[in-house]
Amino acid sequence: MKYPESVTVKNIEAAFAGESMAYIKYMYFAKMCRAVGDEASAIAFESTATQEVQHAFGHLDLLYPKAEMTPVRCLEMAIEGETYEYTEMYPNFRHAAVEEGNHAAVAEMDEQIEESKEHAAYFQSILDKAAKRFAALARVEEKHANHYRAALAQITA
Ligand SMILES: [Fe+2]
Ligand SMILES: [Fe+2]
């Protein structure tokens, strides 16, 4: 991202958060409506939720431009986010929940800490495998390059 201090970048980040939350919230509302037999409202929430995803993607196109993204970068960013969740965010939130005696929140945050840890480890294992794959590809490319170089040397000799 070229302008990390820009007001517009901050606004796009906030808009991305809002649209993402709208998606989850509408899916949650759809579940509630369906549970009491209101299928029409459930469908209205689900179809609108799908559009919120597209709105969120539009913001992400600006925040993480395709030209700057690679699978490795995506995995690194995901690991970063999950690691922040289980090392800083949830431990801090958990601490506050303990102080306020909110046992349900403490238990829920303990679960989230475990889940985030698992997600980070999972992405890390995928990244490690990807690194091996890229190394193997690089070796093949090198072989090809050497082959072309030898062929070129013969022509120019
Ligand atoms: Fe929207
Ligand atoms: Fe996660």
CA of 114 relative to ligand 2 center, distance in Å: 9
pLDDT greater than 90 at residue 92: yes
pTM above 0.85, yes or no: no
What letter does residue 1 receive in the DSSP assignment? -
Evaluate whether residue 3 is within a structural domain. yes
Evaluate whether residue 82 is within a structural domain. no
Number of domains present in the structure of the chain:
1
Evaluate whether residue 12 is within a structural domain. yes
Look up the domain containing 27 and give its range: 1-67
What was the pLDDT predicted at 137? 84
Task: Give the model confidence (pLDDT) of 105-154 as tens digits.
Answer: 999 999 999 999 999 999 999 999 988 888 888 888 888 888 888 888 88
Cα angle at 115 between 125 and 69, to 5 degrees?
Answer: 50
What was the pLDDT predicted at 95? 98
CA of 82 relative to ligand 2 center, distance in Å: 6
For helices 103-156 and 90-99, the axis angle rounded to 10 degrees is 170
- d(C-alpha 114, C-alpha 2), whole Å: 34
Task: Give the model confidence (pLDDT) of 39-56 as tens digits.
Answer: 999 999 999 999 999 999
Q: What is the mean pLDDT of residues 70-80?
A: 95
- d(C-alpha 112, C-alpha 81), whole Å: 13
| Contact present, 137 and 145 (Cβ < 8 Å) | no
CA of 122 relative to ligand 2 center, distance in Å: 10
| Ligand positioned closest to the Cα atom of 115 | 2
DSSP for 19-87, please give it. Answer: HHHHHHHHHHHHHHHHHTT-HHHHHHHHHHHHHHHHHHHHHHHHHS-GGG--HHHHHHHHHHHHHHIII
Task: Give the model confidence (pLDDT) of 10-24 as tens digits.
Answer: 999 999 999 999 999
Evaluate whether residue 128 is within a structural domain. no
CATH of the domain at 42: 1.20.1260.10
Confidence band, pLDDT 50/70/90 cuts, at residue 82 = very high
What was the pLDDT predicted at 50? 97
Enter the tokens of residue 11.
């606004």
